């Protein structure tokens, strides 16, 4: 793990050095982003409409039940589409793989130059969706959810941060970059409302707290 963090620190230092010399401009406002989520006011309304119930079991869950990174067009799959969308000056090779570009991770404020440093996060994790109602869906519905480019459900972020989030809900995890928490809560409610997924009481309380401060 120390090697991973050493790489992270080196990458951040390099980014800082480039920015300081004016070689690179990576202000978050200049970045492409997921679809704009509903407003905080709408999110508060939508949250009040969600079914509140104890979270279901993970029994029977498998990521394979949510076919993800399907082909979107040509040789480009969902992951590659999100990398292109969320990055700046992204160059893709003939197989659609991102070979250069710059990505700003909204969750932690880090900037990366290699696509391998990024994960595509499902804002509402697949396992969380399973426990919130997706266990009753068809495979087709789960595939649509796992590759949803219309709602703010997919975002390119630092891989370590995404792995730390795992399948936790907002009562258990929020982006370490506090400035993004309001947006994250709006994204979460937007997705859960559209897909008619339930929330548990602690999750609802955490979302209300964030949204009330937006």
- Class of residue 124 by CB neighbours under 10 A (exposed 0-12, middle 13-18, buried 19+): buried
CA distances from 197 to 46, 53, 168 (A): 12, 10, 15
* pLDDT, the chain, mean: 89
Mean per-residue pLDDT, 18-23: 33
Residue 204 pLDDT? 98
Q: Which tens digit of pLDDT belongs to each residue from 53-81?
A: 999 999 999 999 999 999 999 999 999 99
With beta carbons less than 8 A apart as the criterion, state whether 200 and 135 touch.
no
| Upper half-sphere CA count for residue 191 (Cβ side, 13 Å) | 31
Q: How much is the pTM?
A: 0.85
> Using one digit for the tens of pLDDT, what is the confidence trace for 136-172?
999 999 999 999 999 999 999 999 999 999 999 999 9
- 105-127 per-position pLDDT tens digit: 999 999 999 999 999 999 999 99
* pLDDT of 26 strictly over 50: no
Cβ neighbours, 10 Å, residue 181: 19
């Amino acid at each position: 793990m120390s090697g991973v963090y050493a790489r992270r620190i080196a990458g951040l230092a390099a980014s800082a050095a480039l920015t300081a010399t004016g070689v690179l401009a990576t202000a978050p406002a200049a970045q492409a982003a997921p679809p704009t989520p509903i407003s905080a006011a709408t999110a508060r309304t939508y949250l009040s409409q969600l079914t509140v119930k104890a979270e279901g079991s993970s029994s029977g869950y498998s990521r394979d039940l949510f076919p993800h990174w399907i082909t979107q067009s040509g040789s480009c799959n969902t992951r590659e589409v999100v990398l292109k969308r969320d990055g700046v000056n992204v160059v893709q090779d003939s197989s659609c793989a991102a070979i250069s570009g710059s990505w700003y991770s909204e969750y932690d404020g880090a900037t990366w130059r290699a696509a391998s440093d990024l994960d595509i996060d499902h804002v509402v994790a697949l396992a969380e969706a399973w426990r919130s109602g997706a266990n009753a869906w068809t495979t087709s519905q789960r595939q649509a959810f796992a590759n949803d480019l219309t709602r703010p459900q997919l975002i390119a972020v630092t891989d370590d941060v995404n792995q730390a989030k795992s399948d936790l809900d907002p009562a258990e995890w929020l982006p370490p970059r506090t400035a993004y928490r309001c947006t994250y809560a709006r994204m979460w409610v937007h997705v859960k409302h559209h897909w008619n997924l339930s929330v548990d009481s602690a999750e609802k309380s955490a979302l209300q707290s964030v949204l009330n401060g937006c």
